Chain A
Amino acid sequence: MSVYLLCLVLFCVGLYCILRKRNVIKIIVGVVIAEYAVNLFLALVAYRFEGRAPIFSPDQKILNMVDALPQALVLTAIVISLATTALLVGIAMRIYEKYGTFDITKIKELKG
């Protein structure tokens, strides 16, 4: 149970960064940390005590494997998170090129 709570604390650090910081790059860093926390939570749910990795070997019979389904879901989510992070970085670099700053409070021209 306390492992889940530590994972939630990690998610909350990312959430605090998204809500509180004014710098666009800092907001992207918060999004990345929150993604790590969610991936870690799904992998923690799949773990089983005394379990083996879900790969068969030719000479021995393995019965106690960990849950393979959340691992398969996380595997696609990791690559998608990289692509969305790159999209955020592209938008942030465009903002810097147009306004000369990363600070979202100084970008008054975004209004209207």
Chain B
Amino acid sequence: MTDLLLFQLRRVGRNRQYVFFTIVLPALFTILFTQVFGAQATADGGQQDYGRLYMVSMMAYGAIGAALGATIRLAFDRSTGWLRQLRVVPVPPGTALAVDVAVGALLVLPSLVVVALVGRFVNGVELGLGSWLGLIAVLWAGSVVFVALGIALGVALDSQAAGAATGILGTALAALGGLWWPVEILPSALVTVAHATPSYWYASLGRDVVAGHAPSAPTVLVLLAFAAVFSAAALVVSRRRPLHAVAG
């Protein structure tokens, strides 16, 4: 299991696109948007608030991309026949899937930590140590929603659709869920849409923590519901279409 985990981590980590979109881009956005838009907010003394919220949004954006990107790729390993090949190698059943879940969960951390470091040391966001750790902990735990979603899509989609989904889904979830701009400035119809996205609730976890309190019950419940639905979907689809089934 450890062998396979390291093998998979190396494969994902050496994908430059993946590293760019899940770590470099969110970090650049954090700097750019806080310096540009935050400067206007300074007049109202809101720089610190703005910097915090935008940092949380970008942590969420990076984490969502990292979780999805690391798991949807299951579809590629199916289409090459690698998952089928693994079935005729001494590997306990379920290991391939468990490893990809672990890879998704682990690769969320660099995105969270790098954006947090940029927030702290480039944008001067100030939080207590407990809040920093709490922020990373809740966003790490919450990323299970997107790991589950990515696994479900990785199992369900063929490699072409999976490639497209990886690019589109992270962007759509960020835009609709209010990660790139605050939901408050959106027309009410789009606010309704935002509330239907898991990304909105995911970022809420972090917004609650930087506001100085524990994540609200509705936020946690909505995210648990999303995680349950995506996990169930992944389970149902993988029953009907096992990982080692011929791609087609």
A binds B: no
Q: Could you tell me which A residues sit within 8 Å of B by CB distance?
A: none
